[in-house]
Amino acid sequence: MIGDTIAFVLWGEGCDESLAVAWVSRLRAEGRRVYLVGVSGRRVRGQYGIGLEVDIRLDEALALVEQAELVIVPCKESAVLSFHRDPRFHEFLERAAESGAQVVVCPEK
């Protein structure tokens, strides 16, 4: 693994399965430590009906957020807006930014 930093790919209802899998696969192929993080559960179906099982839940990711180098949100804006109802989502993004992590919200296709 490259360093002690972590890349987090957030996953929840309305996220794009192909983008989530592409990011996780590419980063892991580079030898990076990557977690697929469940924002709305442990196993959730994305916008095309494909279910992905996460590595960790958002509450577990909060304990590791200071090690974040990259946070990917592979979702449409409507999905991201639904995440904002969860105060843990705000806390995670704020703490990741404070740690110097780059936050990437993938645009709609």
Look up the CATH number of the domain holding residue 23.
Answer: 3.40.50.880
- Whole-model pTM: value is 0.91
CA pair distance 21, 87, nearest whole angstrom: 26
Do the Cβ atoms of 14 and 74 come closer than 8 Å? no
The answer to whether residue 43 sits within a structural domain is: yes
The answer to whether residue 46 sits within a structural domain is: yes
The answer to whether residue 47 sits within a structural domain is: yes
The answer to whether residue 45 sits within a structural domain is: yes
Q: What is the total count of domains within the chain? A: 1
pLDDT in tens, 8-53: 999 988 899 999 999 999 999 999 999 999 998 888 888 889 999 9
End-to-end CA distance of the chain: 31
The answer to whether residue 100 sits within a structural domain is: yes
Question: Helix or strand or coil: residue 61?
Answer: helix
The answer to whether residue 1 sits within a structural domain is: no
The answer to whether residue 29 sits within a structural domain is: yes
The answer to whether residue 25 sits within a structural domain is: yes
pLDDT in tens, 56-105: 999 999 999 999 999 999 987 777 888 888 899 999 999 999 999 999 98
- Which pLDDT value is given to residue 41? 81
CA pair distance 68, 6, nearest whole angstrom: 5
Query: What is the residue range of 48's domain?
Result: 6-105
> If pLDDT is split at 50, 70 and 90, which confidence band does 109 have?
low
Contacts of 46 (CB under 8 A, 6+ apart): 11, 13, 14, 15, 16, 17, 20, 52
